């Protein structure tokens, strides 16, 4: 395949860094690279302002660190200054490439509008299936060939946050010879063939695991976070029950036409995995409860705040392929939906509401996708058929190659979070043991967004692991 075409579309400097914006032309489908169907992938190259000028980006000779964002379906925020992880990486001698993964940001973004031209549900499903980690990694490799074409060093390094870490392990499986150092923050993926082990671990009150060799470090993380929430805000037990009782008997419309159902309100628990996420949910619970007590309905202001807190309308790729990011040769079959029914005493409103004890809490859910979301979220409704096709798809290609991971020569360091409700810790530890030389830091110091909360601490520890500067 010919080297990808590219162009630099803009250059500017902000507070100590110069940013070059690139567009790379790559195949839509790497199984049919000569079909002629191309997409454009966007990236920002960030270098110290004193080491490059707007006419010669290659003046900077620093090694590359490519950053892959969490998701699926989230773009990289534009760096506005030499701060945070950008500062940490530049201070360690790198230039940074912030990639908008395909389907996000400026990289062939997926939205209701862009999917309308794809016709039938089957055509939409086929298109959406091309936006997983395998295609993202192929894009990265094409970009590496372009940017390092004239460089003596043909390898680059990678920092993957959350789903970006999933992509990093796929990269190690597909192109291990292209990577020098790999840093993974909250994103060592399970190497299973589907999502069932993940949701079993996140839902279950049991320490029985679906992967027989998994270490029994912890379980029931979503339940633990719910318990912590209600311990911190005990009055919210009754407030949440009252709110859900109201939603179960009233159709509550959100500003964009979505429906605030019982299940959708419970999905606010997605924030429990982030620092201060419980406080954010508590404020919404308090406001909705106040509205019902004083006004007798949930006001427009509160409904607007709830809608803004839930990003599935603005990130439909996340909802459509979230379970598919785990699939290798088997369908997801709505994994979160199926396994939730086994734990109804905690998560199902109709089960808990019938309990005579009003002090029994109704739990929020976590990072799970349910069929009802394709009715409740306005932008997802027309994708209901495509989502059903994706959930039953059986021919998902492989994402990981364990023999290749067993012998990789890239240096790999990872942080996994003990209380992570997004990426199961037990399965991450098992997966890390399959990556040759991977050094893993397991900590309860942070939640899933530790890289954002304290990039100096997280990256500092990972670089020390890379350099073996630990006992």
User: Is residue 16 within 8 Å of 132, Cβ to Cβ?
Assistant: no
> Please, which residues have CB within 8 angstroms of residue 361's CB and are 6 or more apart in sequence?
226, 230, 237, 240, 241, 352
Known active-site residue 162: yes
Long-range residue pairs from 223-228, CB within 8 A, at least 24 positions apart, any chain:
223/346, 223/363, 224/419, 225/269, 225/272, 225/273, 225/278, 225/366, 225/419, 225/421, 226/269, 226/272, 226/346, 226/361, 226/363, 226/364, 228/278
Catalytic annotation, pick one of 162, 204, 261, 335: 162
Known active-site residue 271: no
> Please, which residues have CB within 8 angstroms of residue 424's CB and are 6 or more apart in sequence?
190, 197, 198, 201, 202, 221
Q: What are 110's two structure tokens?
A: 């997926």
Known active-site residue 343: no
E-strand stretches of 327-459: 411-417, 439-443
Q: How far apart are CA 431 and CA 429, in angstroms?
A: 5
User: Is residue 190 within 8 Å of 427, Cβ to Cβ?
Assistant: yes
Catalytic annotation, pick one of 291, 420, 424, 426: 420
The secondary structure of residue 4, as a DSSP letter, is P
| Catalytic machinery residues | 162, 420, 448
């Amino acid at each position: 395949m010919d080297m990808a075409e590219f162009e630099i579309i803009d250059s500017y400097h902000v507070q100590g860094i110069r940013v070059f914006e690139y567009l790379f032309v790559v195949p839509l489908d790497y199984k049919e690279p000569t079909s002629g169907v191309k997409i454009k992938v966007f990236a920002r190259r960030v270098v110290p302002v004193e080491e490059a000028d707007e006419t010669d980006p290659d003046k900077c000779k620093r090694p590359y660190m490519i950053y892959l964002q969490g998701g699926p379906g989230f773009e990289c925020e534009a760096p506005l200054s030499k701060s945070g992880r950008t500062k940490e990486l530049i201070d360690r001698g790198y230039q940074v490439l912030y990639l908008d993964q395909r389907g996000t940001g400026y990289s062939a973004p997926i939205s209701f509008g862009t999917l309308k031209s794809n016709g039938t549900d089957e055509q939409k499903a086929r298109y959406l299936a091309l936006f997983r980690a395998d295609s993202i990694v192929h894009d990265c490799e094409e970009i590496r060939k372009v940017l390092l074409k004239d460089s003596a060093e043909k390898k680059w390094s990678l920092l993957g946050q959350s789903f970006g870490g999933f992509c990093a392990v796929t990269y190690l499986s597909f192109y291990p010879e292209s990577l020098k150092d790999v840093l993974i923050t909250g994103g060592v993926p399970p190497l299973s063939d589907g999502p069932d082990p993940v949701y079993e671990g996140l839902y279950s009150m049991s320490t029985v695991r679906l992967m027989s060799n998994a270490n029994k470090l912890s379980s029931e993380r979503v339940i633990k976070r719910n318990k912590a929430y209600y311990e911190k805000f005990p009055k919210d037990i009754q407030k949440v029950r009252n709110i859900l009782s109201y939603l179960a008997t009233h159709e509550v419309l959100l500003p964009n036409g979505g429906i605030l159902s019982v299940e959708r309100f419970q999905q606010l628990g997605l924030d429990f995995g982030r620092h201060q996420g419980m406080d954010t949910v508590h404020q919404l619970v308090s406001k909705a409860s106040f509205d019902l007590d004083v006004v007798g309905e949930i006001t427009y202001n509160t409904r607007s705040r709830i809608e803004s807190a839930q990003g599935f309308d603005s990130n439909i790729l996340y909802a459509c392929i979230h379970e598919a990011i785990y699939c290798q040769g088997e369908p997801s079959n709505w994994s979160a939906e199926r396994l939730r029914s086994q734990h109804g005493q905690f998560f199902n409103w109709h089960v808990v509401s019938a309990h005579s004890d009003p002090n029994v809490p109704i739990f929020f859910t976590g990072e799970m996708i349910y069929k009802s979301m394709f009715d409740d979220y306005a932008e997802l409704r027309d994708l209901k058929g495509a989502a059903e096709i994706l959930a039953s798809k059986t021919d998902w290609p492989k994402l990981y190659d364990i023999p290749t991971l067993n012998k990789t020569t890239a240096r790999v360091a990872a942080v996994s979070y003990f209380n992570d409700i997004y990426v199961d810790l037990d399965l991450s530890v098992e997966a890390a043991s399959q990556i040759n030389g991977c050094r893993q830091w397991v900590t309860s110091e942070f939640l899933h967004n530790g890289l954002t909360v304290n990039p100096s601490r997280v990256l500092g520890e990972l670089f020390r692991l890379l350099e073996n500067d630990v006992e």
